[in-house]
Amino acid sequence: MKQENKQTISGRDFEKYFQVKNLKKALEIKAKYEDQILLIAGATDVLVENYEKLHEIKNWLDLSRVKELKFLEVKEDKLILGPLMTHYELKNSQRLKQKLPLLAKAAAAVGSPQIRAKGTIGGNICTSSPAGDTLSALLALDASFKLQSKIDSRLVKAEDFFLAPKRNGLKDNELLTQIEIPLYPEESLSFWAKIGRRKALVISTLNLALVLYFEQGLIKRAGVAVGSAAPTPIRLREVEELMLGKSLAELNYRELGEEVKKRVSPIDDIRGTKEYRENVVRDTMVNALKSIEKRREGGKNAD
Amino acid sequence: MQIKFKVNGEAREIEVTPFHRLLDLLREDLGLTGVKEGCGKGECGACSVIMNGRLIPSCLVPAPQADGAEIITIEGLAEGNSLHPLQEAFIETGAVQCGFCIPGMIMAGKNLLDENPSPNEKEVRTALSGNICRCTGYTKIIEAVMLAADKMDSKGSGSDE
């Protein structure tokens, strides 16, 4: 064990590690401790953030055994997900791959096999990193998050949830308890790409999600979102609107790429420069449209 | 807090705190030093073990989350004096240089072969993508996993006949 983590063990140490088995209990504890308790599920972000200072954490709420928060169901016109679904489970879910391949693809790009086996989609959402891989997919798919407290619950749209780097709209007494994604009847094609320095274990330099829903050859709905290109992952409604009511042939891909570029506000950091990200987000949008065009012509649904 | 879990088939009970990681339990309390700490942040794969049938980074598991779990480490692969086919294959292909990453690599290889007994090279590469090696350049490690798959496959079909 790291020397820094060595502490004498006493019976009291565990009074404040709550490994709850049901949601009701979790909500009660959250109501009592509010922001004075650290939430863990897969723990893959929390243990990295607190490396060598785990002993400084006073109160823990471990949600990993709350079985009622782990599910994937199709209910009429939406797909609902429990926040404890791991990236591994999402990536391998036949139902998800069939209904929302965009999200399955994003989940498959998270971290490494080891991280995907432990990390959860709820954790990805609540950590709220601007680079969170599943977040651009959730935004483009028009997801909503159910935020629940001991007394009530509310549904917040993904695009209203992320407020600043690693900041979100969860109140101190709330937990994320469900993710809802609408399933539209129209035929859809999607694209998700992650730009990074290597394929595995890389934090996105940029990621982009695009989904188009077609009705009689025209784009009826669209979802465009990017990650790592602004203080939060962002959905680009204005770019979506430019595509509505048109066929793919009527779109000017390069101009749409420029429209995406105009609306991002990346920074220079160790993963890439602002200029690089601006140019790559434009080109990735062009590639996304080309990829969808190619699959539409080929009659293939698979991404 | 007392937790109970099974390591390499043996039931263990141990006193832990939330700031113990599974990695610390295995190395310090149980002496299973085949589990290596590389980065401590889930990026290198050296501490990989199989927990409840999934390959996980033991540096990112708070000890209480291991309560009730079944864990397999590199120490649990050999049977008596006979090495696991993966271990044999790593030796035969010369896949080991300094050796620090190898327990994690072998556990990643085992996790793959448990799910997919005859993987292609791409599948092997993906399965090992969470494990970093700074010596070998990976080629021989990938060959070793492919060789182990062949060895285990021929064993399997042998017993069928």
Q: What is the pLDDT of residue A242?
A: 98
Cβ neighbours of A57 in B, within 8 Å: 18-19
Find tokens 């007392």 and name the residue. B2
Cβ neighbours of B18 in A, within 8 Å: 13-14, 17, 54, 57, 60
User: CB-side exposure of B41: number of CA atoms within 13 Å?
Assistant: 10
Cβ neighbours of B20 in A, within 8 Å: 1, 5
**For chain B, domain boundaries:** 2-76, 85-156
Q: What is the pLDDT of residue A8?
A: 46
CB within 8 A of B48, min separation 6: which ones? A114, B55, B56, B57, B58, B103, B104, B107, B108, B130, B131
Q: Are A141 and A235 in contact (CB under 8 A)?
A: no
Q: What is the pLDDT of residue A183?
A: 98
CA distance B131 to chain A (A): 8
Rounded Cα distance between A250 and A154, Å, is 40
- Mean per-residue pLDDT of chain B: 94
**Rg of chain A on CA atoms, in Å:** 20
CA distance B159 to chain A (A): 31
Q: Do residue A118 and residue B127 have CB atoms under 8 angstroms apart?
A: no
* Closest by CA position to B108, among listed B56, B154, B155: B56
Taking chain A (303 residues) in runs of 10, the rounded mean pLDDT of each run is: 48 72 97 96 94 89 97 97 98 97 97 97 97 97 98 97 97 98 97 90 91 97 96 97 97 98 92 93 98 86 49
Q: CA-nearest residue of chain B to A44?
A: B60
Q: What is the pLDDT of residue B159?
A: 42
- A199 — contact with chain B (CB < 8 Å)? yes
Does ipTM surpass 0.90 in this model? Answer: yes
CA distance A66 to chain B (A): 12
| φ/ψ (deg, to 5) at A277 | -65, -40
Find tokens 């309560």 and name the residue. B67
- A44 — contact with chain B (CB < 8 Å)? yes
Rounded Cα distance between A19 and B1, Å, is 11
- A21 — contact with chain B (CB < 8 Å)? no
* Closest by CA position to A122, among listed A30, A46, A230: A46
Cβ neighbours of A117 in B, within 8 Å: 54-56
Closest partner CB to B19 (pick from A42, A55, A111): A55
Cβ neighbours of B109 in A, within 8 Å: none
Q: Do residue A5 and residue B65 have CB atoms under 8 angstroms apart?
A: no
CA distance B43 to chain A (A): 6
Distance of CA A63 to the CA centre of its chain: 18
Q: What is the pLDDT of residue A106?
A: 97
| CATH of region B85-156 | 1.10.150.120
Closest partner CB to A44 (pick from B19, B48, B60): B60
pLDDT interval class at B161 (50, 70, 90): very low
CA distance A159 to chain B (A): 29
Q: Are B148 and B128 in contact (CB under 8 A)?
A: no
Closest partner CB to B28 (pick from A1, A47, A112): A1
CA distance A34 to chain B (A): 20
* Closest by CA position to A301, among listed A103, A140, A108, A100: A100
Cβ neighbours of B56 in A, within 8 Å: 114, 117-118
User: CB-side exposure of A204: number of CA atoms within 13 Å?
Assistant: 31
Architecture of domain B2-76: Roll (3.10)
| φ/ψ (deg, to 5) at A27 | -70, -35
Q: Do residue B130 and residue A112 have CB atoms under 8 angstroms apart?
A: yes
Please report the DSSP string for chain A in residue order.
--GGG-----GGGGTTEEE-SSHHHHHHHHHHHGGGSEEESS-TTHHHHTTT-GGG---EEE-TT-GGG--EEEETTEEEE-TT-BHHHHHH-HHHHHH-HHHHHHHHTSS-HHHHHH-BHHHHHHHT-TT-HHHHHHHHTT-EEEEE-SS-EEEEEHHHHEEETTEES--TT-EEEEEEEE--SSEEEEEEEEE-SSSSS---SEEEEEEEEEETTEEEEEEEEEESSSSS-EE-HHHHHHHTT--GGG--HHHHHHHHHHT-----BTTB-HHHHHHHHHHHHHHHHHHHHHHHHHT----
Rounded Cα distance between A87 and B135, Å, is 30
Rounded Cα distance between B105 and B103, Å, is 5
- B124 — contact with chain A (CB < 8 Å)? no
CA distance A278 to chain B (A): 28
Q: Do residue B64 and residue A1 have CB atoms under 8 angstroms apart?
A: no
For residue B114, the SS3 value is helix
- Tell me the sheet residues that pair with A176: A147
Rounded Cα distance between A180 and A172, Å, is 22
